[in-house]
Structure 1
Amino acid sequence: MTARVLVTGAGGPAGVAVIRSLLRRPELTVFAADMDGWASGIYLVPPAQRRLVPPGRDADFVPAIARMVAEDALDLVISTVDVELVALAGRRDELAPAVLAAPSEDTLTTALDKLLLAERCDATGRSPRTLLAGPDALAVDWGFPVFAKPRQGAGSRGIRLVPDRAALEALPTDEGLIVQEFLPGEEYSVDVIADAAGHVVAAVPRTRARVDSGVAIAGRTVHDPELIETATAIAEAIGLVGVANVQLRRDRAGRAMLLEVNPRFPGALPLTIAAGVDIPSLVADLFLGAELPAAIPFREIASVRFLEDIIVEVDEVLVSAHAGHQEEL
């Protein structure tokens, strides 16, 4: 199978991991794009395959990708950025004949809204009590402390610990906050891939031993049936097709519970790939029409992350309107 593939978000750890994975397949021609000309992943591909794109929220973002599809004869578009996925998912037809390698618009919407996600996954028995701040939350007899967090948003931004009822009553009700049961136990990330029928073919739990800016930079994969079964049930509940990162944390009773779902490639993907589940390659196969194995095993392995320099000639650096370097070149 030969194909021409565009990977966007080439400046992030997920983008770099996806590009590196796909470059190992000689039948794939990989294009790399980012809104910033200093994005390191751009320079992993030959100069003729490097691209700049507008920010994902820009009105010209989707048309720009569509133009690249036509000009570069692309078969597959892979985005590693939440905001880009949201923009692209509802306009897949504009990318034809290329295929967008992403979950459905419904799955994305559900995963990126913590209240909708908790409600959709309630039947799994692994969704913590989650209510909007205000009358709904005040009507519940919580076991304090609890967490308040933005209904939408990534990482730990906007999260606050609510120690008692007085603090709960003082929460603003105009900021889209949710109140959620406190999960005090260890946190895990589970990288999941589901086939075209929504069957989970692999769920790889890993610890987050060291975290930098929300991305795990050290950890290990673990064979834990409860984590695997919980992440699988959550992926099936949201109708996942493709890749997602399911974050779990143990509650006071030690049970693995849903924390959030990132419906995209995770930043710590190299560990999962090294463990035996090459998710970017599998996603490329899936959305190019190949059948995935029924199940993919993985092994327990650990990783630590270090910085790596990519050296390029000065005149190779792409000048972008969305970075602060253009006046220096």
Structure 2
Amino acid sequence: MAFGNILITSASAKAILVQNFRAVMEEFGGKVFTADSEPACAAGFFADQAFQVPKLRDAGALDHMLALVRDNGVKLIVPTRDGELPFFAANKVYFEAEGARVLVPSETQLETVQDKAKFADAIEAAGIPAVPRIRPPFGDDAYPIFVRPITGAGGIGARAIKSAEDFEAIEDRDSLLFHPFIHSREYTIDLLMAVDEPKALQAIARERKVVVAGESKVSKVVDRPRLVELTLKLGETLGLVGHNTVQAFDDEVNGTHFIEVNPRFGGASNLSIQAGLDSPRRILQMLTGHAEAAYAPRPVRIGATMYRYQQDVIVDEAPDH
């Protein structure tokens, strides 16, 4: 019996994620669809079918999405953009009433994850180190310091403050967190959680070797046992679901400090998927009654390195945009 169909939302240029799920769906039956508010959605060309949908803030967006799920036999929704996660968390019960699971934590858990101050408080209470926070006023010897918005994604607004003059020029201090400038290596950890219980299944750490405009272009799987162990504990503490991307500093001198969690697939998560995490297949195994197979850890290809590059898609006819 076929599982049903998958809908990947805010698909944009996430063609590799679509391809990963399509490869797995050959084993489970069903199709992979994409949804995006923009007609120029490159990932849609790699899907079985692409849908243009309203922006989620538009009137009637929920009814439109529910109808899409209902009319197309969607059994799993995979949100991929931080900004859409609150919509799906708030409306999770309605999608589940249509028979579709949504890879998103509860509203309360999501709020904790997306508010960096609440995130730090939650994990520190569990004995997991967060990036240290400092509060003004600062002495001259405190600079440089690092500031970032309490909410937001993609590193927008995060920056170094080099002097007291730069600090005095900041107008929105109540919306910011202040940190000492940490000189440690930064890692991304892809974390796979169960879908029906707060159980961490496996995590793979990767070092971002080359980063351009905040996006990892060269990444390498590394052996960081303590970092992985703490990430598993973090996932269970926060009650995460499915595939998640975690950011942390880690080195032998300064130890481990977690920066944030994005409760979704990341832009370079394909490396961890191919290096052993195998999260699309394992998520579907969990949803089809094969939890034992899904829960079994996979061998990890330590040293596997991914080089990302741009690829063009050329078609004879495309939607207007």
CA deviation vs aligned residue, 1:74-133 (integer Å, no higher than 9, x gap): 1111111111111111111222221212222222211111111111111334112236xx
Q: Tell me how far 1:201 sits from its aligned partner.
A: 1.0
Q: What percentage of aligned pairs have identical amino acids?
A: 28
5+ residue gaps, structure 2, are none
1:28-177, aligned counterparts within 5 Å? Answer: 28-46=30-48, 49-95=49-95, 96-123=98-125, 124-130=127-133, 137-138=135-136, 143-163=142-162, 167-168=166-167, 171-173=170-172, 176-177=175-176
SS at match of 2:246: strand
Q: For the Cα contact (< 8 Å) 1:188–1:249, is it kept in 2?
A: yes
Q: Distance in 2 between matches of 1:92 and 1:288?
A: 19
Q: Aligned AA for 2:113? A: A
Q: Distance in 2 between matches of 1:140 and 1:294?
A: 49
1:251–1:119 CA distance, 2 compared to 1 (3 A): farther
SS at match of 1:220: strand
Partner of 1:206: 206
Q: Distance in 1 between matches of 2:50 and 2:311?
A: 19
Partner of 1:322: none
Out of 277-286 and 114-123, give the one that drifted further: 277-286
Q: CA RMSD in A?
A: 2.3
1:286–1:61 CA distance, 2 compared to 1 (3 A): farther
Q: Tell me how far 1:140 sits from its aligned partner.
A: 7.8
SS at match of 1:158: coil
Partner of 1:268: 268
1:121–1:143 CA distance, 2 compared to 1 (3 A): farther
Higher relative contact order (Cα pairs below 8 Å, separated by 6+ residues) = 1
Partner of 2:219: 219
Q: For the Cα contact (< 8 Å) 1:189–1:208, is it kept in 2?
A: yes
Q: For the Cα contact (< 8 Å) 1:191–1:204, is it kept in 2?
A: yes
SS at match of 1:221: strand
Partner of 2:229: 229
**Number of paired residues?**
309
Partner of 2:239: 239
5+ residue gaps, structure 1, are 132-136, 320-324
Scaled by the length of structure 1, what TM-score is found? 0.85
Q: Aligned AA for 2:118? A: L
Partner of 2:8: 7
Q: Distance in 2 between matches of 1:90 and 1:288?
A: 25
CA deviation vs aligned residue, 1:170-210 (integer Å, no higher than 9, x gap): 54345511112322111110000111322211111001112
Q: Distance in 2 between matches of 1:261 and 1:121?
A: 11
Q: Distance in 2 between matches of 1:252 and 1:268?
A: 25
Partner of 1:304: 307
Q: Tell me how far 1:161 sits from its aligned partner.
A: 1.7
Q: For the Cα contact (< 8 Å) 1:190–1:204, is it kept in 2?
A: yes
1:116–1:289 CA distance, 2 compared to 1 (3 A): farther
SS at match of 2:147: strand
Q: Distance in 1 between matches of 2:111 and 2:290?
A: 26
Q: Aligned AA for 2:114? A: L
